[in-house]
Structure 1
Amino acid sequence: MKSWTSKQLKLFNEISAIQNRPYNDDGVSFQDNPIWVVVNDKQVYLRGGKGTDSKWYQAGIKNGGEIEVAGQTFKIKYVSVDNESEIAAVTVAYNQKYHGQYPIDMMVSDKVAHATVRLELR
């Protein structure tokens, strides 16, 4: 597994959102949505706002995708997180980064927390 560089992690911490582009079954991105991103323990995380029922979440887990940040595109694998302590740490990261912003309450809810994915470089 390739690791995110310290420069990339710093960028993810500084920006509000990235462009999320999961692939459909044909290997083509079917969506291009901005999404909040957090870093914890040198890993990058997203959450599906509609929980695990989210179309992008399901397609991303199955097919991978890409993200874009500051004009840079990265091919990624979405890895579902089921470790409760890792999910809790990501919730803390969301609360710290997006405190007071809408829809932070939804993004740290149990339903959404269980749609946490770790982004791994491909």
Structure 2
Amino acid sequence: MTDWNGTDLEKIAAAEELDLASERANGTLRDPVTMWVVRSGAQLYVRSVKGTDGPWYRGTQSRHQGRVQAAGVHRNVTFHPADAGEYPGVDAAYREKYGHCTSIVEHVLTDRSRASTLRLEPR
């Protein structure tokens, strides 16, 4: 596991949204998708509201690599499926950061969405 440097971790975690572009099988980047990002501990996470059937999530599965951009930080990353033991911390982070969006945040707290939890690791 590669760690984030403190500055990048803080900036991305504080950003309201993150742009994520996954790599195709041929190494080119897909168009970026804007999504929520949360920090739990020293890690950054994203989830798909549509779970593992979500188009952007499926795109991450061809090479498990891509590029993220938020708060002026641009980083190449690896997408790692989160372990079920990480879900409670990620759930709490979503509630804390996006709880003001009560009608929306509940959609990333379902079992379906949890199954698509990806840990972003810099590379």
TM-score (structure 2 length as normaliser): 0.90
Counterpart in the other structure of 2:13? 13
**Aligned length in residues:** 121
Displaced runs of 4 or more, over 2 A = none
| Structure 1: stretches of 5+ with no match in the other structure | none
Counterpart in the other structure of 2:73? 72
| Structure 2: stretches of 5+ with no match in the other structure | none
For each residue in 1:78-103, what CA deviation from the matched residue of structure 2 results, as whole angstroms up to 9, or x when unmatched? 0011x222111101110111002152
Provide the aligned C-alpha RMSD in A. Answer: 1.4
Question: d(CA) in 1 for partners of 2:71 and 2:10?
Answer: 12
Question: d(CA) in 1 for partners of 2:77 and 2:28?
Answer: 13
Counterpart in the other structure of 1:85? 85
Counterpart in the other structure of 1:111? 112
TM-score (structure 1 length as normaliser): 0.90
Counterpart in the other structure of 2:31? 31
